[in-house]
Amino acid sequence: MMSGLSAELSASGNDVVVFADGAGNKEERKFDTKQPYPVYRYAGIKLWRRRKKAKDIAHYITNHKLKNLTLLTDSWKSLELINQSHFDKILCLVHGTEISSKLSRKKATRIRDALAKSTHIIANSEYTAKRIRPHIDTDGKLRVIYPGINVPKKDTTIIEKVKRLLVDHDPVLITVARLEKRKGHHHVLELIPKLIKQFPKLIYIILGEGSQMSALESTIQSRSLQNHVLFMQTTNEQERNAYISNSDLFIMPGDIVENDVEGFGMAYIEAASFGIPSIACNVGGVNEAVVHNETGLVCPPGDQQQLYSYTLKLLEDSEFREKLGISAQKRSMNFLWPEQIKQYKKLLHS
């Protein structure tokens, strides 16, 4: 999200400097050196790195004698310790997952005080806007701008390689997401034993890393699904895109876990950009990313039977699946960064 936004702002002629979290490993350094703007990385304990980052930003501004500045932060946490007097405008993004519906009084005060520094608060969905509204000093600051996606990168060599890897599998389901319980991978694994009775060559690709890795691997082992689940961790962008483009259906049911819920769901839009329809559950802002009966199918949260019925319907009805995929791809073009950046420019120059 922030890398795409930074790239588009830079391409539009803005001078961009990025202060980001990160371990500073080989991959991050390689990525950073390719950017047309400087990137400074911070690792370590959260509170320390936030303080260090805020201090370094102030020093950078002073040392370079910068004026007429706009600050864009990825969350209220990144804004909390910033000296707002250095900036003419402050745009703060809100994603939904960091705003729990059950906050302590202390944390609610921290959020309100941080957001009070901002000129504009940008929510990633109408759902997120509704969730953040009680914590802002004036509703006039709030805007809804959906996250952008990059123009899909396709490497025909990698696409053909993945196609050969999957040649004996049909149909192909995929989830591309961090391995967190709220993404709903476990719900999909519950479907697989029933689905392979009708589709014995079916394969489900899980692409991602996260805290649920061991639990998901245990489920795969206990249900003897090793021949029907391809568990992948790190891939580059071209490989990820190759797996998506060689899939029939993107499936990420979503769940509500201790007030942690999807604020929007860019993964659905990214899959749509390859003409792949989605199966999702109506949690958080997901129904703003997947339009029911237009770009995919959206079932009630926790309804495992409906999830199975919708998945079966799209796997059996290739004509309907293709129709949804075409519609999804057409809609995804509205989310390309060159389009989305226009809304940010209006705020920057207003």
Strand partners of residue 89 = 70
How confident is the model over 18-54, as pLDDT tens digits?
A: 999 987 788 888 889 999 999 999 998 988 999 999 9
Burial of 255 (0-12, 13-18, 19+ CB in 10 A): buried
Out of 3.40.50.2000, 3.40.1350.10, 3.40.50.300, 3.40.190.150, the CATH code matching 2-149+336-349 is 3.40.50.2000
Question: Which CATH number applies to 156-334?
Answer: 3.40.50.2000
Q: How far apart are CA 196 and CA 229, in angstroms?
A: 11
Q: What is the pTM of this model?
A: 0.91
Task: List where CATH 3.40.50.2000 sits in the chain.
Answer: 2-149+336-349, 156-334
E-assigned strand segments in 201-294? 203-207, 229-232, 249-252, 278-281
pLDDT at 101 (0 to 100): 66
How confident is the model over 104-123, as pLDDT tens digits?
A: 889 889 999 999 999 999 99
Strand partners of residue 120 = 91
